[in-house]
A and B are shown apart, each in its own frame.
Chain A
Amino acid sequence: MMNFDYVRPASVAEAIGAATEPGSVYLASGTNLLDLMKGGVSRPSRLVDVTRLPGLDRVERLADGSLRIGAMVRNADLAHDPDFAKAYPAVAEALLSGASGQLRNAATVGGNLLQRTRCAYFYDVASACNRRAPGAGCDARHGENRLHAVLGWSEGCIATHPSDFCVPLVALDAVVEIEGKRGRRELSLEALHRLPGDTPERETALEPGDLIVALRLPAEARSFAAHGRYIKLRERTSYAFAVVSAAASLRIEQGRIGEARLALGGVAAKPWRARAAERLLAGASLDAAVYREAARAALADAKPSGDNAFKIELAQRIVVRALTLAAAGTPALMPALPGSPFSSVSGTRA
Chain B
Amino acid sequence: MNFSISLTINGVRRDVALDDPRVTLLDLLRERLDLTGTKKGCDRGQCGACTILVDGRRINSCLALALSHDGAEITTIEGLARGDQLHPVQAAFIAHDGFQCGFCTPGQIMSAVGLIQEGRAGGDPERVREGMSGNLCRCGAYAGITEAVLEAQDKMNVANQRRSA
Which A residue's beta carbon lies closest to that of B129? A238
Per the bound structure, the CA–CA distance linking A27 and B24 in Å amounts to 14
Which A residue's beta carbon lies closest to that of B18? A6
Which A residue's beta carbon lies closest to that of B114? A101
- B131–chain A nearest beta-carbon distance, Å: 5
Chain A residues contacting B51 (CB-CB under 8 Å) are 102
Contact B21 A31 (CB under 8 A): no
Known: A102-B58, A106-B60. A35 touches B45 (CB 8 A): yes
From 74 to 130 in chain B, residues with beta carbon under 8 angstroms from any chain A beta carbon are 111, 114-115, 118, 120, 122-127, 129-130
* Residue B64 at the chain A interface, CB threshold 8 Å: yes
* Residue B141 at the chain A interface, CB threshold 8 Å: no
* Residue A34 at the chain B interface, CB threshold 8 Å: yes
* Residue B41 at the chain A interface, CB threshold 8 Å: no
Per the bound structure, the CA–CA distance linking A336 and B131 in Å amounts to 9
Contact A101 B134 (CB under 8 A): yes
Contact B124 A105 (CB under 8 A): no
- A86–chain B nearest beta-carbon distance, Å: 15
- B16–chain A nearest beta-carbon distance, Å: 15
Contact A102 B124 (CB under 8 A): no
Chain A residues contacting B124 (CB-CB under 8 Å) are 336, 345, 349-350
Per the bound structure, the CA–CA distance linking A237 and B58 in Å amounts to 21
Number of chain A residues whose Cβ lies closer than 8 Å to a Cβ of chain B: 37
Main secondary structure of the interface of A (DSSP, over half): loop
Contact A336 B21 (CB under 8 A): no
From 1 to 36 in chain B, residues with beta carbon under 8 angstroms from any chain A beta carbon are 1, 3, 20-22, 24
Per the bound structure, the CA–CA distance linking A338 and B44 in Å amounts to 24
* Residue B156 at the chain A interface, CB threshold 8 Å: no
Instruction: Provide the A96-113 mask, 1 if CB < 8 A to any CB of B, else 0.
Output: 000111110110000000
Instruction: Provide the A1-20 mask, 1 if CB < 8 A to any CB of B, else 0.
Output: 10111101000000000000
Contact A38 B43 (CB under 8 A): yes
Per the bound structure, the CA–CA distance linking A101 and B132 in Å amounts to 7
Contact A99 B64 (CB under 8 A): no
Which A residue's beta carbon lies closest to that of B124? A350
Number of chain B residues whose Cβ lies closer than 8 Å to a Cβ of chain A: 39
* Residue A286 at the chain B interface, CB threshold 8 Å: no
* Residue A93 at the chain B interface, CB threshold 8 Å: no
Known: A6-B3, A6-B21, A30-B68. A35 touches B131 (CB 8 A): no
Chain B residues contacting A47 (CB-CB under 8 Å) are 21, 65
Chain A residues contacting B126 (CB-CB under 8 Å) are 336-337, 343-345, 350
Which B residue's beta carbon lies closest to that of A340? B130
Known: A34-B63, A49-B68, A336-B127. A4 touches B22 (CB 8 A): yes
Contact A101 B115 (CB under 8 A): yes
Per the bound structure, the CA–CA distance linking A257 and B129 in Å amounts to 36
Contact B125 A350 (CB under 8 A): yes
Chain B residues contacting A336 (CB-CB under 8 Å) are 124, 126-127, 130
Per the bound structure, the CA–CA distance linking A47 and B20 in Å amounts to 13
Instruction: Provide the A106-140 mask, 1 if CB < 8 A to any CB of B, else 0.
Output: 10000000000000000000000000000000000
- A155–chain B nearest beta-carbon distance, Å: 30
Chain B residues contacting A76 (CB-CB under 8 Å) are 57, 118
* Residue A51 at the chain B interface, CB threshold 8 Å: yes
Instruction: Provide the A31-62 mask, 1 if CB < 8 A to any CB of B, else 0.
Output: 10011001100000001010100000000000
* Residue B133 at the chain A interface, CB threshold 8 Å: yes
Instruction: Provide the A67-92 mask, 1 if CB < 8 A to any CB of B, else 0.
Output: 00000000010001000000000000
- A41–chain B nearest beta-carbon distance, Å: 12
**A–B Cβ pairs within 8 angstroms, 5 of them:** A27-B68, A80-B120, A103-B59, A345-B124, A349-B123
16 further A-B contacts with Cβ under 8 Å, apart from A49-B65, A103-B45, A105-B114, are A3-B21, A5-B21, A30-B63, A31-B45, A35-B63, A49-B68, A100-B133, A101-B118, A101-B132, A102-B134, A103-B63, A106-B59, A336-B130, A345-B126, A349-B124, A350-B125
Q: Which residues of B contact A (CB under 8 A)?
A: 1, 3, 20-22, 24, 43-45, 48, 51, 57-60, 62-65, 67-68, 111, 114-115, 118, 120, 122-127, 129-135
In the A-B complex, the 8 residue pairs with the closest CB atoms: A100-B134, A238-B133, A336-B126, A6-B21, A239-B133, A350-B124, A105-B57, A106-B59
